[in-house]
Amino acid sequence: MFYHDKRLQYPVKVEKPDPHFARMLQQAIGGIEGEIRVCMQYFFQAWGARGPTTKYRDMLLHTATEEMGHVEMLATAVALNLEPAPLQDQEESAADAVVGAVMGGENPRHVMEGMLHRHILSTGLAAFPANSDGVPFDMSHIYASGNLAADMYCNVAAESTGRVLATRLYNATNDPGMKDMLHFMIARDTMHQQQWLAVIEELGGHEGTLPIPNSFPQSKEHQEHSYDFFATAADGSPPPQGRWTTGPSLDRKGEFSVFQNKPLGEEPVLGPARPHSGAQSEQID
């Protein structure tokens, strides 16, 4: 069950509407780094959470609902950036924004104006659940595995790429209202990164959670190569040395080492093609 409040989670104000920036904000709504992604990811992780304690499920539901509020803020920002501008001004703004790309031999005006026209014709100067190129969000980047540790690592990655996008948007606008909204959202991304890492720490950190799933006995894996870094240079030259090539593994259950990659199997030989498979006669005999 959900409840709603007509007021926004944080103020959203636009001093100088910018249709080009409205298009960029669409990435934060429906892009793979966007708020719809994390909102749905946390909801589905929560709805499928199992275990003797419900605190992780409850925490995920709180944060998923917060992310829904972020979608609302961004949708409002898109609408405010589009609202006052007549069609002619929008076209001029689009043309100005892509002069550099035209100099490179491209013709992005069609893409830019197509997005602006969609905002006008399809949504009535409003946001829609798509990225900055108008590709609808399709849920293909929602990761909910049923494994709490795996989901937390996925969440850290999601919040990290989301914060990268938010900082790029922050640097792409001079509007004080938009910068103010984004500095709030960037702060929330900071917290959420820490939040998911805190869960991993509470579960035992790297030593307690890795390898995932920790419920599968490592005695059933090929432990000879469990902590090998496979060097794949054709000339046999050593790989770059780093934390991943020597010393104790992060789960403290092995030692990192370098293995010069080589064929461990045989050349595959497949059986003949089946009759009526559409293969050549020489393949069937």
Give the angle 130-135-138 at the CA atoms, nearest 5°.
75
CB 188 within 8 A of CB 126: no
Task: List pLDDT tens digits, range 237-276.
Answer: 999 999 999 999 999 999 999 999 999 999 999 999 999 9
The pLDDT value given to residue 129: 94
pLDDT band for 108, please (50, 70, 90 cuts): very low
58 marked ligand binding residue = yes
Domain ranges of the chain: 19-207, 218-260
Judged against a pLDDT cut of 80, whether residue 10 lies above it is answered with yes
pLDDT band for 102, please (50, 70, 90 cuts): very low
What's the chain's average pLDDT? 90
Report the percentage of the chain scoring pLDDT > 90. Answer: 82
CB 26 within 8 A of CB 131: yes
More confident residue, 280 or 92: 280
The pLDDT value given to residue 87: 54
The pLDDT value given to residue 106: 43
Judged against a pLDDT cut of 90, whether residue 280 lies above it is answered with yes
67 marked ligand binding residue = yes
The pLDDT value given to residue 103: 46
More confident residue, 54 or 123: 54
159 marked ligand binding residue = yes
Judged against a pLDDT cut of 90, whether residue 83 lies above it is answered with no
CB atoms near residue 52 (< 10 Å): 4
Q: What is the average pLDDT across 200-219?
A: 95
pLDDT band for 107, please (50, 70, 90 cuts): very low
CB 15 within 8 A of CB 177: yes
CB 258 within 8 A of CB 239: yes
CB atoms near residue 247 (< 10 Å): 11
Residue reference for tokens 């992604």: 37
The pLDDT value given to residue 123: 78
Judged against a pLDDT cut of 60, whether residue 88 lies above it is answered with no
Task: List pLDDT tens digits, range 157-202.
Answer: 999 999 999 999 999 999 999 999 999 999 999 999 999 999 999 9
pLDDT band for 1, please (50, 70, 90 cuts): confident
Judged against a pLDDT cut of 70, whether residue 79 lies above it is answered with yes
Judged against a pLDDT cut of 60, whether residue 135 lies above it is answered with yes
The pLDDT value given to residue 101: 45
Q: How far apart are CA 205 and CA 79, in angstroms?
A: 43
Q: What is the average pLDDT across 35-54?
A: 96
For 19-207, CATH gives 1.20.1260.10
The pLDDT value given to residue 109: 45
The pLDDT value given to residue 92: 55
